[in-house]
A and B are shown apart, each in its own frame.
Chain A
Amino acid sequence: MRSSVQVAFDVGGTFTDFVLQDAEGRLHTGKRLTTYPDPTGACLEGLDEIMARTGAVWPELARAVHGSTLGSNLVIERKGADVALVTTRGFRDVLAIGRQKRYELYDLQTERPRPLLDRTQVHELTERVLADGSVYVPLDLDEARALIRRLGESGVRSLAVCFLHSYANPAHERRFGELLKQLAPAVEVSLSCDVAPQFREYERTSTTVINAYLVNAVREYLRGMTGRLAERGYGGRLFIMQSSGGAATAETMADFPVRMIESGPAAGALIAARYGEMTGHPDLIAFDMGGTTAKLSLITGGRPQTVDSFELHRVRLAPGSGLPLNVRSLDLVEIGAGGGSIARAELGTIQVGPESAGSAPGPACYGLGGSQPTVTDANLLLGYLNPDGFAEASLRLDLEAARRAIAEKVARPLGLPVEEAAWGIHAMVNLNMELATRVVSIERGHDPRTLALVATGGSGPAHACRLVQQLGVQTVILPASAGVASAIGLLAAEVKFDLSRSRLVDFDRLDPEEAEDLYREMEREAEQALGALPAALVREVDLRYSGQGYELTVPYENARQEFERLYGRRYGMASPGEALEATTWRLTAIAETPHVELPRFAPREARPPQRRPAYFPECGGFTETPVHPRHQLSPGQELEGPVVVEEHGSTTVLPPGVRARVDSYGSLLARW
């Protein structure tokens, strides 16, 4: 069967990854160092190279999908000098005041992240709308005109507008937007009623300002990128990955850049979903463990679970320390647990992370000047990693440096033999990740015993089996070439667009006609933003018991039953019979679902594995352990732990008691 040629490229902090699916459905991959400050250079070189290598021609390319960290970087650098905010008179400090809670309870030296805009960039306007949408003070048009003139003269190029209660009545924001278009057409405008129409003014303002931060740079970037692709003869559209796990056209993203702020983890979860689908596991936990953090997310029915708010750039990943965004994104738990996480002895226990040695100086065993013991050092000492070759860097690892660091910082203070200390580090980072796994499964109302787990990232496969041991997860899926997983995930992304409207309704006295009108209106808008014919339109509604402050998103169909079921599972018990309130109405339009075929492993003759000692408490310590190169495994082959499987970019550890089978894609399906 001939399929259409598709290409995906994913810009990361260090590398830009490329994946091309050719007409025969084969996957080809490429990698290039990301270029700064403009990542376009590496993208185009990499695309040209992979197109040439595979003999693909631009006019026949059916689809190009792009993932990027551009948005996140612009915010972290606080590059918003030409951005301003206009808000309701009396509320210029809402952005600086925030929600005011301390994210470290007892730390008197704590600092709040610098506000996105300083006080001089915030302007007040006379107007006021109330919670029920009524106008309390009309918009002062003369004042608005004068302000626009001043802003134009002061060099503002992007303006965020957030008036109180605009989610209930956007008229003032819209009127101001029209005036701006008329009087200062060069200034980009982000209206909060378009960007994030939900109540809670600080969170909505923060989201709108971040959109305003990004809009010029992203528009310019996407315009440049689409232009360069068109020059090469590409006649299709450029699709951009959103934080929600759906792709959208470059044109739509240029208006809502805040939606593409975290595309990497979303793509990773999508490919985990794809592996689950291929192995008959529609419900699973996606587990991605890299150098500094581990990310966990839940996939049900083949789709990643999403949330409608998240925090960007948290301080030491502490909840409440980041910038809130009312944007649909993957329901992701990220913790400071990676190969570079630093271990220490504390209070008679071993603590690991969230501090990380990163890639410079890196773990002690890298020999780049690091002296702190890390998870990678422990894994090396335990015999899990091969000292002669590590990751793609082909770095030789210094076993003695690892041993010294662990002995000095962990073993000696706790009075433990150094191997036991290394095992303790391995076990403690597993515990931290297990607790995070419980959050995305048990706390979300899903029994881990009914879920599979897909492990990706450089460190994921070394920890996955231990991680699930106590949770009772049935199957661990360890895909081959997990290193470019997120770029492959881009190829698998559905084209999607989410819309929402805040409207507070007594749900027990809902007028179905009114709801129908609301959904119809959003459907028309979504079809336009989608840029394609929708294959599915999903209607959802946020419900809560009347008087509560947080909602659960449930399908509009059978909403009450779905709500009570989910509520009971998440929070202990539902209160049937209590009045329900609907707050936000949501519509997702989904276009085509592309089919991505993953490369298959050819059967090969089994070769006797090499062996090296590795540490497993079940075996009483170090034991001679078979070590297989992944590419020498053959579909259908059975492995029984203890076994180590090595490949470029990652090492898989199967502890004693684990049995694994190699599937036709080279993935290991492991179970305890």
Chain B
Amino acid sequence: MVSEPGRPDPITLGVVWGALRSICVEVGSSVQRTAYSIQAREGQDFSVAVFDAQGRMSAQGPYSPGHMGAMNFAIGNFINAFAPEALRPGDTLLLNDPQLGSGHFPDFLVAQPCFWRERLVGFGVNLVHHTDVGGSRPGSQAVEGIFDWHQEGLRIPPVKIVEEGRENKTALDIIAANSRVPGNVLGDLRSQRASLRVGEQRMAELYERFGSETVDACVEAMIQQTEARVRERIQAMPDGEYRFEDFMDDCGSGTDPLRIAVLVTVSGDRIAVDFAGSDPQTESGLNSYFNYTRSYVYAALKCLTDPFGPMNAGALRPIEISAPEGCFLNPRPPAGGGPRAAICTRIFEVILGALAGAVPDAVTAANSHFCNATFGAWDPVRKRRFVGYELIHGGTGARAARDGCEAMSSPYNAANIPIEAVEAATPVIVERFEFIPDTGGRGRHRGGLGVRRDVRILAENVKLTNLSERRRFRPFGVLGGEPGALGRTVINPGAPGEYEIGGKASVDLRYGDVVSFQLAGAGGYGDPAERDPALVEEDRRLGLITRW
């Protein structure tokens, strides 16, 4: 069986495809094992992809989908900044510009041009959420007190961070000088670069084995095959115009809710998603640059159409996404965007909500909203500045066939950070980490429960940025299911003078204050009256509910 040029045989195609995927995984495990910051190494808040020389994404690693909308366009943005002929072996590229990258400064997008026989054949890319890039609050994710991105920290346009093997020391020094925790940032950046060197070597080996004509033809075929399959799956969905709307609580204490409206149009083998009617961009950090908005639309539609299929440029082609320029899902620079992670779940969920009637067996109700608070101060014991990073995940929405999952990350897919790792790195004591009974939305199937994590901070003048949701608008149920319970954040719960703070609040805390993060419960699915009494009894026995 010999491959004709331009039309690879099924075996060669399978081999090249498998090899590209495994390159992503190898780069990803290397990032995880060598990263310094707890959100990267424990929370796995990073992603990996490989691209061909034209900048088309050919494979993605199984990490955070939130970076994918950015990823797919990132190489194009680098190529606009550096013409391909200006790239040399040994160059490594970096950017964190929100509009060119994934929507906020902490995400460092690093691209490694891959050369084979002195020719540019593709790119390895990884994206890591860094701990702190300066700005008004530790963690660089403030909502309040931001009116544009200049309060959010250091913006890095596309730069060669390594030029023909020589580190760009000037750029590295500027980055280090602008972070509250320069050691972490430089360490994570080293981890990104080292892992991509491995990726480049693997790409070169692949081209050496098959030659560029065959590999390029395989990438073309992969993209086409994937596109054809996604179109086939969309074709199977009932045509129609599906609308949904939901609200974000606010964009800082005392502000109004933010409407997020979506129209999903399924017609033939195409899907169009339009966010017209969503609220205008905000004078706060709470805006989702379009790359980021796209990421979660792609992720939601991927879940509904082809969850086990490959993720590459072809999977995205049948999908058209629009949001009016100037709305908070497609803001004009220099809008703030640091805390945009608070928006991702909602973008994902409104797509599910819109399509619940069209594909009732595939959707879920709304999830318990996660919390991504950051805080920083002087660590009196370790004698250094620190930035703490919490990633608290609750349950997922109920489904046609079963209850929502308890304590499962969705849809951004990160892990939690072990208590013993947090306490070894920062001056905090976690005092509780547990389910909150009776928070899951009732239904034929129950939504997952909210989770509570209480953190005592042992430092003076702590600058806390809360980042959570679902204080006013309960996570919706679908097809008759009830919404989950609201979440809240309480300072010093149970103590005299306890008080609640907003989901996006920036507050100063004193030594020994406890922050109790209490997440909302996820939504239910179907009529609660239809729930199997045995399941109700079991929930009661386990203490997951006390009433029904």
Residues of A within 8 A of B (CB): 90-94, 96-102, 104-112, 118-120, 128, 130-131, 136, 164-165, 167, 199-203, 345, 347-351, 414, 416, 420, 423-424, 427-428, 431-432, 435, 438-439, 443, 470, 504, 545, 547-550, 567, 570-573, 575, 617
Given A424-B11, A547-B184, A106–B308 Cβ distance below 8 Å? yes
A589 CA / B138 CA spacing, docked (Å): 48
A428 CA / B10 CA spacing, docked (Å): 10
- Of the candidates A130, A571, A575, the one whose C-beta lies within 8 Å of that of B198 is A571
A167 CA / B423 CA spacing, docked (Å): 14
Q: Which partner residue on chain B sits nearest A572 by CB separation?
A: B194
- Of the candidates A109, A111, A201, the one whose C-beta lies within 8 Å of that of B420 is A201
Please tell me if the beta carbons of A550 and B11 are within 8 angstroms of each other in the complex: no
The smallest beta-carbon distance between A208 and chain B, in angstroms, is 14
Please tell me if the beta carbons of A130 and B419 are within 8 angstroms of each other in the complex: no
Can you report 24 residue pairs joining A to B where beta carbons are below 8 Å apart?
A90-B430, A93-B435, A96-B435, A97-B416, A97-B451, A100-B408, A100-B416, A102-B409, A108-B304, A111-B405, A128-B429, A165-B423, A199-B418, A347-B309, A350-B14, A424-B1, A427-B11, A427-B15, A428-B15, A435-B22, A547-B187, A549-B421, A550-B32, A572-B195
14 additional A-B pairs beyond A107-B303, A438-B22, beta carbons within 8 Å, are A90-B430, A90-B432, A91-B434, A93-B434, A100-B415, A102-B408, A102-B409, A102-B410, A165-B420, A435-B22, A470-B209, A547-B187, A567-B34, A571-B191
Which 6 A-B pairs give the minimum distances between C-beta atoms? A572-B194, A549-B41, A90-B432, A349-B14, A106-B307, A347-B225
Which residues on the A side are within 8 Å of B433 (C-beta)? 90-91, 93-94, 97
Please tell me if the beta carbons of B10 and A120 are within 8 angstroms of each other in the complex: no
Which residues on the A side are within 8 Å of B402 (C-beta)? 109, 111
Please tell me if the beta carbons of B420 and A164 are within 8 angstroms of each other in the complex: yes
Which residues on the B side are within 8 Å of A570 (C-beta)? 30, 33
Which residues on the A side are within 8 Å of B454 (C-beta)? 90
Please tell me if the beta carbons of B62 and A200 are within 8 angstroms of each other in the complex: no
Q: Which partner residue on chain A sits nearest B33 by CB separation?
A: A550
- Of the candidates B41, B307, B364, the one whose C-beta lies within 8 Å of that of A548 is B41
A112 CA / B393 CA spacing, docked (Å): 15
- Of the candidates A102, A130, A202, A348, the one whose C-beta lies within 8 Å of that of B423 is A130
Is residue B229 within 8 Å, beta carbon to beta carbon, of the partner chain? yes
- Interface residues in B163-198 (C-beta closer than 8 Å to A): 183-184, 187, 190-191, 193-198
Please tell me if the beta carbons of B10 and A348 are within 8 angstroms of each other in the complex: yes
- Interface residues in B30-64 (C-beta closer than 8 Å to A): 30, 32-36, 38, 41-42, 44, 62-63
The smallest beta-carbon distance between B276 and chain A, in angstroms, is 26
- Of the candidates A112, A439, A470, A571, the one whose C-beta lies within 8 Å of that of B405 is A112
The smallest beta-carbon distance between B352 and chain A, in angstroms, is 8
Per-residue contact bits, chain B 300-322, to A (CB 8 Å; 1 contact, 0 not): 00111011111100000000000
Is residue B117 within 8 Å, beta carbon to beta carbon, of the partner chain? no
Which residues on the A side are within 8 Å of B209 (C-beta)? 470
Per-residue contact bits, chain B 396-412, to A (CB 8 Å; 1 contact, 0 not): 10010110011111100
The smallest beta-carbon distance between A597 and chain B, in angstroms, is 40
Which residues on the B side are within 8 Å of A348 (C-beta)? 10, 13, 221, 225
Please tell me if the beta carbons of A550 and B41 are within 8 angstroms of each other in the complex: yes
Given A118-B542, A347-B310, A101–B44 Cβ distance below 8 Å? yes
Please tell me if the beta carbons of A548 and B187 are within 8 angstroms of each other in the complex: yes
Please tell me if the beta carbons of A108 and B18 are within 8 angstroms of each other in the complex: no
Please tell me if the beta carbons of B363 and A108 are within 8 angstroms of each other in the complex: yes
Q: Which partner residue on chain A sits nearest B1 by CB separation?
A: A420
Please tell me if the beta carbons of A101 and B414 are within 8 angstroms of each other in the complex: yes
Is residue B65 within 8 Å, beta carbon to beta carbon, of the partner chain? yes
Which residues on the A side are within 8 Å of B30 (C-beta)? 570-572
Please tell me if the beta carbons of A112 and B36 are within 8 angstroms of each other in the complex: no
Is residue B325 within 8 Å, beta carbon to beta carbon, of the partner chain? no
Q: Which partner residue on chain B sits nearest A101 by CB separation?
A: B415
Please tell me if the beta carbons of A423 and B544 are within 8 angstroms of each other in the complex: no
The smallest beta-carbon distance between A147 and chain B, in angstroms, is 17
Which residues on the A side are within 8 Å of B38 (C-beta)? 549
Is residue B431 within 8 Å, beta carbon to beta carbon, of the partner chain? yes
The smallest beta-carbon distance between A316 and chain B, in angstroms, is 10
The smallest beta-carbon distance between B7 and chain A, in angstroms, is 10
The smallest beta-carbon distance between A172 and chain B, in angstroms, is 15
Which residues on the B side are within 8 Å of A90 (C-beta)? 430-434, 454
Which residues on the A side are within 8 Å of B63 (C-beta)? 105
Please tell me if the beta carbons of A119 and B542 are within 8 angstroms of each other in the complex: yes
Please tell me if the beta carbons of B424 and A504 are within 8 angstroms of each other in the complex: yes
The smallest beta-carbon distance between B78 and chain A, in angstroms, is 21
Which residues on the A side are within 8 Å of B35 (C-beta)? 548-549
Please tell me if the beta carbons of B1 and A423 are within 8 angstroms of each other in the complex: yes
The smallest beta-carbon distance between B9 and chain A, in angstroms, is 8
A164 CA / B190 CA spacing, docked (Å): 32
Q: Which partner residue on chain B sits nearest A318 by CB separation?
A: B62
| Chain B interface size, under 10 / 10 to 19 / 20 to 34 / 35 or more | 35 or more
Given A424-B11, A547-B187, A573–B194 Cβ distance below 8 Å? yes
Please tell me if the beta carbons of B36 and A545 are within 8 angstroms of each other in the complex: yes
A504 CA / B409 CA spacing, docked (Å): 30
Please tell me if the beta carbons of A120 and B542 are within 8 angstroms of each other in the complex: yes
Given A107-B308, A119-B543, A549-B421, A424–B10 Cβ distance below 8 Å? yes
Please tell me if the beta carbons of A99 and B405 are within 8 angstroms of each other in the complex: no
Given A97-B416, A164-B419, A108–B364 Cβ distance below 8 Å? yes
A308 CA / B466 CA spacing, docked (Å): 37
Q: Which partner residue on chain B sits nearest A167 by CB separation?
A: B420
- Of the candidates A111, A118, A435, A548, the one whose C-beta lies within 8 Å of that of B34 is A548
A349 CA / B12 CA spacing, docked (Å): 9
Which residues on the B side are within 8 Å of A571 (C-beta)? 30, 33-34, 191, 194-195, 198
Please tell me if the beta carbons of B413 and A101 are within 8 angstroms of each other in the complex: yes
Please tell me if the beta carbons of A550 and B34 are within 8 angstroms of each other in the complex: yes
Pick from B44, B184, B187 the residue with the most CB of A within 10 Å: B187
Which residues on the B side are within 8 Å of A111 (C-beta)? 402, 405
Is residue B378 within 8 Å, beta carbon to beta carbon, of the partner chain? no
Q: Which partner residue on chain A sits nearest B43 by CB separation?
A: A101
Please tell me if the beta carbons of A349 and B307 are within 8 angstroms of each other in the complex: no
Please tell me if the beta carbons of A201 and B419 are within 8 angstroms of each other in the complex: yes
The smallest beta-carbon distance between B262 and chain A, in angstroms, is 18
Which residues on the A side are within 8 Å of B406 (C-beta)? 96-97, 112
Which residues on the A side are within 8 Å of B420 (C-beta)? 131, 164-165, 167, 199-201
Which residues on the A side are within 8 Å of B451 (C-beta)? 93, 97
Please tell me if the beta carbons of B429 and A108 are within 8 angstroms of each other in the complex: no
A131 CA / B418 CA spacing, docked (Å): 12
Given A200-B418, A435-B19, A549-B35, A110–B10 Cβ distance below 8 Å? no
Please tell me if the beta carbons of B11 and A105 are within 8 angstroms of each other in the complex: no
A120 CA / B540 CA spacing, docked (Å): 11
A102 CA / B396 CA spacing, docked (Å): 11
Q: Which partner residue on chain B sits nearest A106 by CB separation?
A: B307
Is residue B507 within 8 Å, beta carbon to beta carbon, of the partner chain? no
Please tell me if the beta carbons of A199 and B194 are within 8 angstroms of each other in the complex: no
The smallest beta-carbon distance between B349 and chain A, in angstroms, is 11
Please tell me if the beta carbons of B407 and A96 are within 8 angstroms of each other in the complex: yes
Is residue B226 within 8 Å, beta carbon to beta carbon, of the partner chain? yes
Which residues on the A side are within 8 Å of B33 (C-beta)? 550, 570-571
A90 CA / B434 CA spacing, docked (Å): 7
The smallest beta-carbon distance between B542 and chain A, in angstroms, is 5
Is residue B26 within 8 Å, beta carbon to beta carbon, of the partner chain? yes
A549 CA / B424 CA spacing, docked (Å): 11
- Of the candidates A201, A431, A443, the one whose C-beta lies within 8 Å of that of B15 is A431
Is residue B17 within 8 Å, beta carbon to beta carbon, of the partner chain? yes
Is residue B501 within 8 Å, beta carbon to beta carbon, of the partner chain? no
Is residue B520 within 8 Å, beta carbon to beta carbon, of the partner chain? no
Please tell me if the beta carbons of B544 and A119 are within 8 angstroms of each other in the complex: yes
Q: Which partner residue on chain B sits nearest A578 by CB separation?
A: B187
Q: Which partner residue on chain A sits nearest B40 by CB separation?
A: A549
Given A136-B429, A201-B418, A572-B198, A431–B14 Cβ distance below 8 Å? yes
Given A92-B434, A98-B407, A571-B30, A106–B11 Cβ distance below 8 Å? no
Q: Which partner residue on chain A sits nearest B307 by CB separation?
A: A106
Is residue B299 within 8 Å, beta carbon to beta carbon, of the partner chain? yes
